[in-house]
Amino acid sequence: MTQTAGSDLTRRVEDAIRRHIAGRCAPPRLGRAIEDAMLAGGSRVRPRFALGVALACGDDRPSLSDAAAAAIECLHAASLVHDDLPCFDDAAIRRGRPSIHVAHGEALAVLTGDALIVMAFQVLADVGDIAAERLPCMLAALSASAGVPRGLVSGQAMECEETADLDAYHAAKTGALFEAAGALGAAASGGETAVWRRVGARLGAAYQVADDIHDALGLGGEGKPTGQDGLHERPNAVSSSGMDGAVTLLRRHLDDAIDAIPGGDDADSLRALIREQTGRFLPAELAAQISA
C-alpha cells in the first residue's frame, strides 16, 4: 500500500466514524464523554483492517464498508472505557489524556461504554437497507465478537475467574474483534467471510503479543499506563515465554496472518498495511526483527 493509499484509508476511517456518531452525542455531558472516547486519537488498527479487507473484496458498497469499520471501532472504544474503570484496571490515563471516568466521572464512563456498545449496532442499522441480504451475517459477526461466550465481554470476564487459559483469554479479549473486523469487512463487500475471519484471528494473535511486549517494556506509545498485566496478574506472552519467545511468537502470528490472505493485487496493499501497522506498536529494533 502506498503512503497515499494509507493516508486515504485513515481519512476514510475518520470520516466514517465522525459521520456515524454525528447527532448521537447527547445529552450534553454524555455526548462530550462519547466524543472524548471516540475522537481523541487511537490507532484505528481494527477499522483500518476492516476497511482494508473490504477494499480487497471489491468495496462495491462503500457505505457498508464504512459502517463495518465504524462499528468495529465503537466496540473497541467501549471496551477501553469500561476496562479503565476503577473496578477493573482503575487506569487514570488513556492515550496520554485522563481516562473517561477520571475526566467525566464514573457514572458517565459506564454510560459512555454502554452507549458505544449500542452505537456499534446503530451504525449497522444506519446501512441496514442498503444491502439487506448482507446484514444477517454482519450482525452475527459483530454481536458475537462483543458478547458472551467468546467475545470481548467474555475476555474481560476471564479476569474475574480464578484461572484463565492464555489462548482463550487472548482469543476473546483481542482476537474476537479482529476476526469480526475481517468478517465484517468481507461481508460488507459480499466477500467470503470465513477466510478473512481467519486472517483477522491471526492478526489479532499477533497484535495481542505486540501489546504484551509493549506492556512489558513499559512503552507509552498509545498513552495508556504500562505494566498493567503484571500489576493485575493477567496472563501475558512475555511473562510466560520471555521477551525472545514473545518476539518469535509475534513474528509467527504475523506471517500466519499474511499467509492466510487470499491472492490478488488489492491484497498486496493489505499485506503492506498489516506489516506497517504491527511495526508501529514496537520499538524500532524489535519492529525491524518483525519485518525482516
Binding site for its own copies (CB under 8 A): 23-31, 34, 78, 82, 85, 87-88, 105-108, 110-111, 113-115, 117-119, 121-122, 124-125, 128-129, 132-133, 135-137, 139-140, 142-144, 146-149, 151, 153-154, 156-161
Q: What's the half-sphere exposure (Cβ side, CA atoms, 13 Å) at 193?
A: 20
Question: CA nearest 172: which of 198, 196, 139, 146?
Answer: 146
CA distance 242 to 15: 40
Q: Shortest distance, CB of residue 175 to its own copies, whole angstroms?
A: 16
Q: What is the CA radius of gyration of the chain?
A: 18
> Closest approach of Cβ 187 to its own copies, in Å?
12
Q: How far is CA 277 from CA 152, 252, 262, 274, in A?
A: 21, 16, 19, 5
C-alpha cell at 213: 511486549
Judged by CB, which is closer to its own copies: 5, or 135?
A: 135
CA 53/CA 65 separation, integer angstroms = 9
* Smallest separation (angstroms) from its own copies to the CB of 154: 6
Query: Shortest distance, CB of residue 291 to its own copies, whole angstroms?
Result: 36
- If the CB atoms of residues 129 and 265 are measured against its own copies, the closer one turns out to be 129
Task: For residue 195, count CB atoms less than 10 angstroms from its CB and return exposed for 0-12, middle for 13-18, buried for 19 or more.
Answer: middle
CB nearer to its own copies: give 26 or 288.
26
Looking at the Cβ atoms of 158 and 270, the one nearer to its own copies is 158
Residue 113 C-beta: closest distance to its own copies, Å: 7
Burial, 149: exposed, middle or buried (Cβ in 10 Å; 0-12, 13-18, 19+)? exposed
Nearer to its own copies, 12 or 101 (CB): 101
Please state, in angstroms and as integers, the Cα–Cα distance from residue 179 to each residue in 145, 204, 224, following that order.
8, 7, 24
Residue number with CB closer to its own copies (81 or 250) = 81
Report in angstroms how near the CB of residue 239 gets to its own copies at its nearest: 21
